[in-house]
Amino acid sequence: MNAYYESLLGKIREEMQLNHWNAALQLIQGELDMPYVPGDILPVLEEMRQDCQASVTSPRIPGVQDLEKWIHGTPVQQEMAVSMLEGMNLRQFGPQVQQLLDSDLLDEFKGELIESLMEQKIDEPFHISRDGLDIEFVPATIVPAQEDAGLTGAMELFDHWFSSQDPGMTAFCTRLLRQEVLNARPFDFQETDPLLLAKSVVRLVYEAMGQEDGWHAFAAANGLTETGDLLLNIEKRGANTI
């Protein structure tokens, strides 16, 4: 199973274990509505949907004791802790947030936690390790995605290239870009060339779908053959992400 679906199914399981049935159903239905779902993933999603629909409507709500247990638990439990914290006042849980940032949690989930800190405009410093370096950051000072010139420029290129003839491709590229953002946090893309970023995301989408010829044809048709390329953070994980 490639990294994208492994991550997606993990998020759905987290929501189910947290008894967030509606949130899990939204993730499941959003994926089922996509124009392409691999044959081995479709029955898994269908089974999850049935489980959610059959689940009780008034489950026990996890508490702070569960949170502390999950932070020091398995990788899946740590991901559940992130999901729980996203709905809480993070100013009251700074030490717990830092513990998760110090853990072996996947960068994507750390990125989700950082974005929650950004949304709540937390102005306390936190630390995270990236490529062996200790980085201090203040969430409130990070440029959000909707104001990031590199990201908005890449999104505009996706629309220009695909919106009229292949909106499904726009959706794939947008989701992959979102993964790239989460894996890169706390860094932004303000200084990243939107064309290089968009091209690299599209290339990875084609490669993940096994359409090398399609990529070369697209690059030639859009004058991208001689354009530079970026090594995306999600590529460094060594797995396809679609």
Residue 207 burial by Cβ neighbours in a 10 Å radius (0-12, 13-18, 19+): middle
- Burial group, residue 20, by CB count within 10 angstroms (0-12, 13-18, 19+): buried
Cβ of 172: how many Cβ atoms within 10 Å?
A: 25
Residue 178 lies in a domain: yes
Residues 233 and 153 in one domain: yes
Which pLDDT tens digit goes with each residue over 144-169? 999 999 999 999 999 999 988 888 89
DSSP for 21-52, written as a single string: HHHHHHHHHHHHTSS---TTTHHHHHHHHHHH
Claim to verify: residue 87 and residue 150 sit in the same structural domain = no
Q: Is residue 59 part of a domain?
A: no
Residue 16: count other Cβ atoms within 10 Å of its Cβ: 20
Q: Enumerate the H helices of 103-234 as residue ranges.
A: 107-119, 149-162, 167-184, 194-208, 212-221
Q: Give domain status of residue 43, yes or no.
A: yes
Residue 242 lies in a domain: no
- Report pTM: 0.74
Same domain, 232 and 149: yes
Residue 213, Cβ density class (10 Å: 0-12 exposed, 13-18 middle, ≥19 buried): exposed
pLDDT of residue 145: 96
Residues of the chain with pLDDT under 70: 1, 56-62, 237-242
At 113 the pLDDT is: 97
Task: Write down which residue in 33, 54, 75 finishes a domain.
Answer: 54
Q: How many domains is the chain partitioned into structurally?
A: 3
Domain match, 115 and 158 both: no
Q: Is 21 inside any structural domain? A: yes
DSSP summary character for residue 60: P
Residues 152 and 232 in one domain: yes
Closest CA to 198 of 160, 155, 227: 155
Identify whether residues 128 and 212 lie together within a single domain: no
The answer on 132 and 184 residing in a single domain is: no
94-102 and 107-119 are packed helices; what angle lies between their axes, rounded to 10 degrees? 150
Show the domain range for 47.
3-54
Examine the domain organization and report whether 48 and 73 are in the same domain. Answer: no
> What does the pLDDT read at residue 239?
44
Q: What is the pLDDT of residues 69-108, one digit of tens each?
A: 999 999 989 999 999 999 899 999 999 999 999 999 999 9
Is the CB of residue 3 less than 8 Å from the CB of residue 234? yes
Q: Decide which of 113, 141, 169 is a domain's last residue.
A: 141
What integer pLDDT is reported at residue 61 of this predicted model?
55
- Residue 6 confidence (pLDDT): 85
State how far the Cα of 130 lies from the Cα of 71, in Å rounded to an integer: 20
Q: Which two tokens stand for residue 180?
A: 């790239």
In a domain, 162, yes or no: yes
Same domain? 82 vs 137: yes
